[in-house]
Structure 1
């Protein structure tokens, strides 16, 4: 955080988006799998 000069909330957002990307989840929280089916 200090090396990038960003606050905690911005660092948490970046961390979460990176974790999502590593697990094949879009930044909006939806899976990127084209075969994914969701029943709500």
Structure 2
């Protein structure tokens, strides 16, 4: 077992999760902002 080859997918998956999370948060905040704009109490 080569540790280097095992390490790369882990880094890639971690990066993917980070990007996905940040993208999801961006969409969520934008949606909240739009909803707040339209449904002002």
TM (norm. structure 2) is: 0.44
Q: Which has the larger radius of gyration?
A: 2
TM-score, normalisation: structure 1: 0.45
Higher RCO (CA < 8 A, seq sep 6+): 1
